[in-house]
Structure 1
């Protein structure tokens, strides 16, 4: 009896985890199934710039694949992935706050706010980081709310 209850609990937990993983995969900005277009999420924090990761230095966190520029950065991520994952699934923070839309990003256009990574669209003379900076607190609150609609 105890064994069958344990098995049922494990199956339920696996089912919930699989649903969460599938939701992340369907909602995250993944080009060729890789987050941040293959850029190293830890480098934004440790080096203060966007650094392209290497395919041979990769890990998967809850279904999302990340590349790293060094073994050290990969190790930092593996120890605490939530500290390095980009906000809003790697979509443009400004667009998420302004219109609730998923818009592509330029990996080199970013901002660290309260220890979190925010990425922005920057092309065709439209750097959304500049617009974000003009009304960051309101846009961030709206973006947080809008992103919850995608992942819940």
Structure 2
């Protein structure tokens, strides 16, 4: 390998470890599971509706099929999804440690609802209520810029302990 290739590889490795080192507390609700026990890998195979239309509901996980990541337990609907998660958990875990993406864009940590989701640039984002989804979708790129800028300062704050409003979790099953 040439020096340029080694420098790029070292930088990528450093960024990977830095991102993992600075992960905050994952939002966990009364279920005791990250993302309320929904299968985070399954979102990536669900059809994604256009902006302005509701997304399909998430896929409930199985409490017997779990993996640990970021200090929390994630549940999965299949062993295959669990294996995919374990191979690359940062790819599948929701952004902002499962907190509402629009809330982060506004400078705070509030719960993310697993049935109010969107994948943008291969990253999973959650929001708290249907009304918030509307605000988020008015300017997703702008809200992502705000959220990314805010996250560095609010990430060290404790995770949200609030309950997701108007949400009744069906997960995890079995």
Q: What TM-score comes out, normalization by structure 1 length?
A: 0.75
- Give deviations 1:7-33, integer Å, cap 9, x for gaps: xxxxxxxxxxxxx59x733xx211244
Structure 2: unaligned runs, 5 residues or longer: 1-20, 48-55, 157-174
Q: CA RMSD in A?
A: 1.8
Q: How many residues align?
A: 126
Q: How far did residue 64 of structure 1 move? A: 2.0
Q: What TM-score comes out, normalization by structure 2 length?
A: 0.66
Contact 1:24 1:64 in 2 (8 A): no
Structure 1 residue corresponding to 2:95, chosen from 82, 87, 94: 87
Q: How far did residue 141 of structure 1 move? A: 0.9
* Runs of 4 or more consecutive aligned structure 1 residues displaced over 3 Å after TM superposition: none
Q: How far did residue 54 of structure 1 move? A: 1.0
Structure 1: unaligned runs, 5 residues or longer: 1-19
- Give deviations 1:72-124, integer Å, cap 9, x for gaps: 11011001111101001111111111x211112321110000000000112xx
Q: Which has the higher contact order (CA 8 A, sep 6+)?
A: 2
Aligned position for 1:36: 35
Higher helix share: 1
- Give deviations 1:30-56, integer Å, cap 9, x for gaps: 124421011110010023441111111
